[in-house]
Structure 1
Amino acid sequence: MKISDMTLLEKILQTVVIKVDKDNFVSDKIGAAFFFGEIITEADEMGLDAARKTLAEYIDNADIPILITSDFENGCGSMLKGLTPLPYLMSLGAADSEKLAYNYGKATALEARSVGANWSFSPVCDLNINKRNPLVNVRGLTDDVNLAIKLLPQVIKGMQDNGLAACAKHFPGDGLDYRDQHIVTTNNTLSFDEWKKKSGKVFEEVIKSGVYSVMSGHITLPSYQKEIFDNGMKLPATLSHELIENLLKKEMGFDGVVVTDALGMGGFNGWYKTMDISQIESFKAGCDMMLWPSENYVKNMTEAIENGYIPMSRLDDAVTRILSMKEKMGLFKKDNHAITLSEKDREFVKNTQKNVAEKSVTLMRDDADIFPLTTEKYKKIAVIPITHHIPAFDEGKLLADLLGEKGFDVQYLKDGIKKTETDGYDLILYALFSRPFRPIGFLDFHSTEAQKVAISLQTAVDKTAVVSFGSPYFMNQYFERAKTFVNAYSMLSPSVKAFVSAATGETEFSSFSPVEV
């Protein structure tokens, strides 16, 4: 398709990423549609057949091939029930396998394509350098730039080789601040020399690997930015010409699509008087596609182009990048509908899930010599879940049930244990469940779960083990004195099963931690 043949309206519509509305197709020339949830929500209840039908309508009605996208950060099952959730990306870091990294991307691509999706807002390329960062944590692969540049390009290759465009996020790099860009603008606080060696190096390498798109974060990079906003502060990347046009596109040579993070987030809004103004400024700054713009966006963009506030060259550059990505994906030449997975494909996805989970369970220490668990040594086990994400109690129950199936006498003590009750058990197993945005806020334990932590190591230390199905930093944040600690990184069923297999000696623990704890 030639950009010279497009009307102004067609060009502007290509820069829009809307939310899928199964009852209302917005336009036949829209650039992209995002379906179901977000990283902050649970998987959609819509069945797979209904999902395929809805997305097929978008594809059929699109006059210009449409991008269908979602947050497939850890496989597709977190966005659409009935598909397969993969252990969180930090599990892949713990597995430390380029082959598994490629398979992780491929498995994601196969299931995404099975419902008609062709673009994923992943992988997360942020280095989780700040242990207190509430948003990256297990969503990120590692805090080690060398491990990141070893595995992330393989994830991207696995996705893009199999028809799913990847999106590296969140430029210029989250994971340094202790705050959350959903709430406030955050900062990448590295000196520019350090940024080039760390966050910048990761983005440099994934750009070299051929990633089709990059997501700009509501994050500043003060060490690079010279421009001062009228409140005396530096603008986030989504509003910064310096960071997007100068650094990312010109200096780093990225010629793909730059999409904003969600425009409704607290880190984006408030810099200008209204969101309507902010999104025009974002486009002017160099972002090519707007994620969930307001209903006035098209009208306001039209006015901004017609009155010269945004030059036509900026719009043509954005549309050229978008159409080029669609050309690379072959969307103008091939059927863009959902593919049918073979039994071999389905088996591959399930095996990838199992392999990543099993190869990532990390035995951090076992000074009490508790593992492997045997029914001769540990006849009666207390399993105590600690979490402030209510649905995770189901995974805690699964842990207890799986141990029960192995022949142990297991009591699932959802409300915790009293110090006077510990003598009645041969093993006390604390299971910690967490992940970013479950719920919103810091990952710290508080209220009733904090009380469970408080008594956890006051008695029976030698027969107490702790496993974290979430933040790896709990080991020294709360359980510094625990003699036995395991990191499993992911509060999903496959990771719970993998822990039980390793704990009972059926599989081996990993000894590699992808982050410094």
Structure 2
Amino acid sequence: MMQKPLSKEEQEWVEETLEAMSLRELIGQTMQDHAGRLPFKGDDEAALRRYLEQYPVGSFFIGGEVIQKAAGKAEDYRDWAGLLQGISRFPLLFSGDLEFGAGSAVRSLTAFPPLLALAAADDEALAYEYGKYTALEGRAAGFTWALAPGTDLLLNWMNPVITTRCLGDDAGRAARLSAAVMRGMQEHGLAACAKHFPGDGVDYRDQHIITTVNSLSEEEWFSTYGQVAGEMISQGIMSYMTGHIALPWIEDGAGGAGSGPVPATVSERITTGLLRERLGFDGVVLSDALDMGGFLSWGDYTQRIIDCFNCGTDVLLWPGVRYFAVMEQAVEDGRVSRERLKASVRRILELKARLGVHAACAGGEDTRAQPLLDDKLPPDLDRQVRQFSRELAGRCITLVRNRTGQLPLNPQEVRRVLVIMMNKVTEGRRYERMNLFVEQLKARGLEVDILDEFEPLTTLRKWEQSGVRWDAAFAPYFLPLHGMMNTARPVGEAAKAIWAMQHAETVRPIGISFATPYLLQDIPFLDTLVNAYSLHEDTVELTVKALFGEIPFQGSSPVKAEI
């Protein structure tokens, strides 16, 4: 399929706009700014006007980051995008981390179970709807560009970055489902962005902290990540994000300072040679965030920025406004060619034309967006989105191990339960959202005892010795991705919980992971494990129903959970 050609009118708009731009405006098109980091209050129209005159950027990132939390209201984002669109001389794109639905970036919209949950359901029709409803809600809130879907593969169980943000460990499944998500987005007015090329999930380290390495051989890479990329490109993906990830089989040169791996974000061999030329990608290449540790170690600011652009990147994500001066100087002294700059801007303008943002009305209003009512889509559509989210929640819950037939529990026989909380890392780092699970148990009228302190380690044994018995015991686990824990595994107090529960002699805990699918690596003695993939509200409710046999477990593990 590749990307559909532009109409004659769209093509003319691209060329006329390109020719009308000054050097500074051309440079601005290749920078994506962060709306949350502007040096003034975001609704100050006069300040916005002055800012865009001085720094005529081509796109803004809005909404919460995946590494933080969903933020704000849909109407606020939409109004803000409209305000900027009206001020800017050239049409803007607005991107966001819409990885798990628009609600993963905007609190008032619908958050979906994560991609790994979609992989557990393994249904292309659901994947298409995942993209479609993300697009309908996202575009209504002012977004035109999703920095999603994740097309990485979970090939190393210790990877701390993509645990639930990917479609599992099988390239065929990931290719099928991510292509369906992408079609759902792009057929409903939202550009998709496959990430993170050349592929995260092989290393056990985090490129927010250092440059990581995809250590597969050329043959292994093409049969895994290359297969997924080939499918996304053939189906017409509009953009690709490169990661701060090295690929030694193609680029074994030393790092910028003479040592270390070469990230894709500065590698011409990876970005141009592999992605563009060998795989045939002709859309927009966006770098991952340039404030990440995996990029910062590559030379000084000027060096790494110029290398990032020259390797084949079209849009640099959050380079900061000094980008303008560096690029102006680089064009002037010949380190960056004007032709290469214009080639990138042409691709960016073509993306804008495909999304129809060049045709926004004079007031900046997006005529292709759904209306918002009370900060949501119109009632019928809103109901469809929320029903979809709940359906996926019910379809993903996976019974990974049930060695002694503990599940389903008999509601008539279970009156008193123990919950061993694995949601605390250190003092002050306790993830209270796990209380959703406890509340569901209490709502059934159960007596719930909670163990959430593990000093002394023998507390559970002492409770047993005092004669306390439970009809069932649960060991729920949660750790958010990107809590800068540099791991997805139980650490700190959660690790101590694993030690503590082994002191008991009458307790056989039912493990429930609301995060990593690999809990059996750290708690191999569990006879029973349920993977639920997230603390998504519907998922938690339906997980409890499945534990008590009221609905079946429908998911199948998207990774080899027992390695």
Deviates more, 1:434-443 or 1:260-269: 434-443
Give a deviation string over 1:306-360, Cα, whole Å, max 9, x none. 2221112210110011011111112223555353122121112111211111111
C-alpha root-mean-square deviation of aligned residues, in Å? 1.9
After superposition, residues 101-116 of structure 1 pair within 5 angstroms as 101-116=127-142
Q: CA deviation at 1:192?
A: 0.6
Q: Is the 8 A contact 1:461 1:483 kept in 2?
A: no
Q: Distance in 1 between matches of 2:506 and 2:116?
A: 28
What residue in structure 2 maps to residue 374 of structure 1?
410
After superposition, residues 307-386 of structure 1 pair within 5 angstroms as 307-334=333-360, 337=366, 339-340=370-371, 341-386=377-422
Q: Is the 8 A contact 1:370 1:463 kept in 2?
A: no
Confirm whether residue 154 of structure 1 aligns to residue 184 of structure 2. Answer: no
Which residue of 510, 514, 524 maps to 1:480? 524
Q: CA deviation at 1:112?
A: 0.9
**TM-score (normalised: structure 2):** 0.87
Q: CA deviation at 1:419?
A: 2.0
What residue in structure 2 maps to residue 240 of structure 1?
267
Q: Distance in 2 between matches of 1:170 and 1:511?
A: 26
Q: Distance in 1 between matches of 2:536 and 2:21?
A: 47
Q: Is the 8 A contact 1:37 1:43 kept in 2?
A: yes
Confirm whether residue 401 of structure 1 aligns to residue 432 of structure 2. Answer: no
Confirm whether residue 490 of structure 1 aligns to residue 526 of structure 2. Answer: no
Q: Distance in 2 between matches of 1:391 and 1:58?
A: 38
After superposition, residues 37-436 of structure 1 pair within 5 angstroms as 37-44=64-71, 46-229=72-255, 231-272=258-299, 274-334=300-360, 337=366, 339-340=370-371, 341-388=377-424, 393-415=431-453, 418-422=460-464, 423-436=468-481
Q: Is the 8 A contact 2:211 2:245 kept in 1?
A: yes
Confirm whether residue 17 of structure 1 aligns to residue 37 of structure 2. Answer: no
Q: Distance in 2 between matches of 1:365 and 1:232?
A: 45
Q: Is the 8 A contact 1:14 1:32 kept in 2?
A: yes
Give the secondary structure class of the aligned counterpart of 1:363.
strand
Q: Distance in 1 between matches of 2:303 and 2:259?
A: 19
Q: Distance in 2 between matches of 1:80 and 1:471?
A: 24
Percent identical across equivalent pairs? 34
Q: Distance in 2 between matches of 1:228 and 1:453?
A: 42
The residue identity in structure 1 corresponding to 2:274 is L
Q: Distance in 1 between matches of 2:496 and 2:140?
A: 45
Which residue of 497, 513, 532 maps to 1:452? 497
Structure 1's unaligned 5+ residue stretches are: none
Q: CA deviation at 1:224?
A: 1.1
Q: Is the 8 A contact 2:489 2:516 kept in 1?
A: no
Confirm whether residue 27 of structure 1 aligns to residue 60 of structure 2. Answer: no
Q: Structure 1 residues 332 and 487, CA, compared in 2 at 3 Å: closer, same or farther?
A: same
Q: Structure 1 residues 425 and 165, CA, compared in 2 at 3 Å: closer, same or farther?
A: same
Give a deviation string over 1:189-240, Cα, whole Å, max 9, x none. 0001110111111111111111110001001100112544451444210001
What residue in structure 2 maps to residue 515 of structure 1?
559
Q: How many residues matched? A: 514
Give the secondary structure class of the aligned counterpart of 2:164.
helix
Q: CA deviation at 1:507?
A: 1.6
What residue in structure 2 maps to residue 505 of structure 1?
549
What residue in structure 2 maps to residue 437 of structure 1?
482
Give a deviation string over 1:21-76, Cα, whole Å, max 9, x none. 414423164210001332211222x3333333222211221221111011111112
Give the secondary structure class of the aligned counterpart of 2:102.
coil
Q: Is the 8 A contact 1:364 1:511 kept in 2?
A: no
The residue identity in structure 2 corresponding to 1:504 is F
Give a deviation string over 1:440-470, Cα, whole Å, max 9, x none. 3212323322221112244356642110000
Which residue of 497, 509, 517 maps to 1:464? 509
Structure 2's unaligned 5+ residue stretches are: 1-12, 372-376
Q: Is the 8 A contact 1:395 1:493 kept in 2?
A: no
Q: Is the 8 A contact 2:115 2:165 kept in 1?
A: yes
Q: Is the 8 A contact 1:434 1:491 kept in 2?
A: no
Give a deviation string over 1:108-145, Cα, whole Å, max 9, x none. 11221121111011111110101111111111111100
The residue identity in structure 1 corresponding to 2:471 is D
Give a deviation string over 1:149-175, Cα, whole Å, max 9, x none. 110000001111111111000000011
The residue identity in structure 2 corresponding to 1:421 is W
Give the secondary structure class of the aligned counterpart of 1:225.
coil
Q: Distance in 2 between matches of 1:99 and 1:36?
A: 27
The residue identity in structure 2 corresponding to 1:27 is L
Give the secondary structure class of the aligned counterpart of 1:430.
strand
Q: CA deviation at 1:299?
A: 1.6
The residue identity in structure 2 corresponding to 1:420 is K
Q: Distance in 2 between matches of 1:151 and 1:211?
A: 13
Give the secondary structure class of the aligned counterpart of 1:194.
helix
Q: CA deviation at 1:78?
A: 2.5
Q: Distance in 2 between matches of 1:384 and 1:208?
A: 48
Q: CA deviation at 1:478?
A: 2.1
The residue identity in structure 1 corresponding to 2:470 is Y
Q: Distance in 1 between matches of 2:65 and 2:435?
A: 27
The residue identity in structure 2 corresponding to 1:296 is R
Q: Distance in 1 between matches of 2:410 and 2:151?
A: 40
What residue in structure 1 maps to residue 4 of structure 2?
none
Q: Distance in 2 between matches of 1:16 and 1:351?
A: 38
Q: Structure 1 residues 105 and 331, CA, compared in 2 at 3 Å: closer, same or farther?
A: same
The residue identity in structure 2 corresponding to 1:501 is K
Give a deviation string over 1:487-515, Cα, whole Å, max 9, x none. 11112222211201211222210251101
Q: Is the 8 A contact 2:93 2:144 kept in 1?
A: yes
Give a deviation string over 1:246-265, Cα, whole Å, max 9, x none. 11111111110001101111
Q: Is the 8 A contact 2:211 2:261 kept in 1?
A: no
Q: Distance in 1 between matches of 2:526 and 2:254?
A: 48
Q: Is the 8 A contact 2:511 2:529 kept in 1?
A: yes
Give a deviation string over 1:284-319, Cα, whole Å, max 9, x none. 111000111122111211121122211122101100
Q: Distance in 2 between matches of 1:334 and 1:47?
A: 22
